[in-house]
Amino acid sequence: MKTAMKQYRVDELRSEDLETLKAYLDDHLGKTALEGTYWLEIPPGLLGDTQAAHVQCQPHVVACEVDTHGITCEFLVRTRKKLHCDCMEMANAAQRVWIMEVMDGILEKLSIPG
């Protein structure tokens, strides 16, 4: 059974705010090979039991993508080291709250309405 992808989306940002956001993320988050896509690393204290036990798969991250209208952060916690593993799973409640708070905090820090 396929699981629906869940995500946190901040939409309808101005183009100048998107450029400011991208510059900040370029400096503070891990970049991926895809332009405008970043890795947000989940802190060790928020890892689920399986994720914490899979030391060889750490760090665990979520993908955040800046497009022409806003930013989207997936709620799929994945490892950057493997394509498939039991430790890759949908974010738990604490992880979801943390992801939203981090993104909201970045927008606030940059004075971007969101």
Alpha-helical (H) ranges within 1-112 are 15-28, 49-53, 93-109
- Strand partners for 8: 73
* Threshold 0.75, pTM exceeds: yes
State the first-to-last Cα distance of the chain, in angstroms, to the nearest integer.
34
Q: Quick one: pLDDT band at residue 1, thresholds 50, 70, 90?
A: low
Tens digits of residue pLDDT in 44-63: 999 999 999 999 999 999 99
> Do residues 38 and 63 make contact, with C-beta atoms less than 8 angstroms apart?
yes
Please report the pLDDT score of residue 110 as a whole number. 96
Distances (CA, A) of 45 to 59, 83, 109, 111: 12, 23, 24, 29
Closest CA to 64 of 34, 105, 97: 34
